[in-house]
């Protein structure tokens, strides 16, 4: 039977506060392995990681490696009939659907993923939120919305973040793997966070 799963875990490295919804978790028979699969993370806390709907026969002593990688996971609704044969709708398995679609989440456009080389001491990427919009009827534009960019670690990225709509060039000062986040919040208070990955060699 499929369901979400709250897994009791012992952290070997890392910290639960670094885990964010929709990150990827590798499932392995050894630390760092993914020979048993991969799954979407719902949340993390001290001693527990909640993963998305699945039918995995979980075993003790498996390893979960949560990585800062956001795959385009599919999320399906669930419909349950109550005692009076009235359907109850859930989003993401256990999130009760009421009227969340009165105001829709914004569509975040922030450009593609990037890969490049440190040629002159930095690798620069141009960022813009151009094309982002609010799909709510009668709200085709997102003027007045707020923007929050996060580009990476201080000392490795310049700048590390901004609240500008179009931040322009951001320079990566060291090789590595980076995740760029853009959170847009609309006038209605709905928000969505987009992710892009940058690999610098």
Domain contains 45? yes
Domain contains 180? yes
**Coil, strand or helix at 16:** helix
- Helices marked H in 112-182: none
Same domain, 53 and 127: no
Same domain, 126 and 184: yes
Domain contains 74? no
CA 80, 82, 84: angle at the middle one, nearest 5? 140
Domain contains 106? no
pLDDT at 192: 94
d(CA 69, CA 71) in angstroms, rounded, equals 6
Range of the structural domain that residue 28 is part of: 3-67
pLDDT at 54: 93
Same domain, 127 and 192: yes
pLDDT at 86: 93
**For residue 147, what is the domain's CATH number?**
2.60.40
pLDDT at 141: 65
Final residue belonging to a domain, choices 50, 67, 84: 67
What is the number of structural domains in the chain?
2
pLDDT at 15: 84
pLDDT at 100: 65
CB environment 112-129: b (16+ within 10 A), e (fewer): eebeeeeeeebbebebeb
**Coil, strand or helix at 133:** strand
Same domain, 128 and 189: yes
Same domain, 118 and 63: no
pLDDT at 145: 80
- pTM of the entire predicted model: 0.83
Final residue belonging to a domain, choices 35, 67, 99: 67
d(CA 185, CA 190) in angstroms, rounded, equals 6
pLDDT at 77: 87
- DSSP secondary structure, 28-39, as one string: ESSTT--TTEEE
pLDDT at 1: 57
Q: What is the mean pLDDT of each run of 10 residues along the chain (201 residues)?
A: 84 87 96 96 92 94 94 90 94 82 88 94 94 83 82 86 92 94 91 95 95
Domain contains 89? no
Domain contains 29? yes
């Amino acid at each position: 039977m499929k369901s979400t799963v709250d897994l009791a875990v012992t952290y070997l490295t890392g910290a639960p506060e670094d885990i964010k919804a929709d990150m990827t978790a590798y499932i392995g028979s050894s630390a760092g392995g993914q020979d048993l699969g991969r799954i979407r993370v719902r949340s993390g806390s001290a001693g527990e990681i909640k993963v998305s709907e699945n039918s995995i026969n979980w075993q003790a002593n498996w390893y979960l490696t949560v990585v800062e990688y956001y795959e385009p996971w599919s999320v399906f609704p669930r419909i349950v009939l109550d005692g009076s044969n009235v359907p109850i709708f859930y989003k993401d398995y256990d999130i009760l659907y009421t009227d969340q679609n009165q105001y829709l989440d914004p569509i975040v456009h922030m450009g593609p993923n990037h890969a490049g080389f440190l040629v002159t001491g930095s690798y620069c990427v141009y960022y813009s939120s151009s094309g982002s919009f609010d799909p709510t009827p009668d709200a085709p534009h997102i003027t007045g919305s707020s923007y929050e960019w996060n580009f990476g670690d201080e000392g490795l990225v310049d700048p590390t973040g901004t609240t500008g709509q179009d931040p322009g060039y951001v320079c990566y000062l060291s090789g590595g793997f980076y995740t760029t986040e853009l959170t847009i919040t609309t006038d209605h208070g709905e928000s969505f966070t987009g992710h892009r990955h940058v690999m610098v060699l």
